[in-house]
């Protein structure tokens, strides 16, 4: 199953491609990076540099407590390039703009 979400924030420009790894993020953070669950952050439209640093922090085990364990499991296998691609993709979504 492929979820094609056009990053509508760049109506004219080329929207970032949907990284394969995004499917896992979408399952909790929702199709536009806007989760149903209020305890989860809106990541759609969030600053890309912040999203990347948060994913690196989860990957490095620098975030613990509450739901951090789930995110550490998600982030652990991600390489730097995939982290940057995910950050660019979710930042391109309108939710936070």
Q: Rule CB under 8 A: which residues touch a copy of itself?
A: 35, 38-42, 45-50, 53-54, 56-57, 60, 62-68, 95-97
CB of 24 to a copy of itself, least distance (A): 18
Residue carrying the six token digits 């399952």: 27
How far apart are CB 39 and a copy of itself at their closest, in Å?
A: 5
Cα within 13 Å of Cα(77), Cβ side: 5
The pair of three-digit structure tokens given for residue 41, joined into one six-digit string:
């952050």
24 or 34: whose CB is closer to a copy of itself? Answer: 34
Q: Tell me how far, at minimum, the Cβ of 21 lies from a copy of itself, in Å.
A: 20
Return the residue matching tokens 């149903």: 36
Q: Which residue has the tokens 């993020």?
A: 25
Residue (1 or 32) nearer to a copy of itself, CB: 32
Which two structure tokens, joined as six digits, stand for 92?
A: 């391109």
- Comparing CB distances to a copy of itself, the nearer of 20 and 97 is 97
């Amino acid at each position: 199953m492929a979820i094609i979400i056009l990053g509508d924030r760049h109506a004219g420009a080329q929207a970032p491609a949907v990284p394969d790894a995004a499917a896992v993020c979408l399952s909790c953070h929702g199709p536009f990076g806007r989760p149903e669950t209020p305890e989860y952050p809106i990541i759609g439209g969030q600053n890309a540099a912040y999203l990347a640093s948060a994913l690196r922090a989860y990957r490095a085990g620098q975030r613990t407590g509450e739901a951090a364990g789930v995110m550490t499991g998600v982030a652990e296998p991600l390489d730097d390039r995939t982290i940057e691609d995910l950050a660019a993709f979710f930042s391109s979504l309108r939710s936070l703009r």
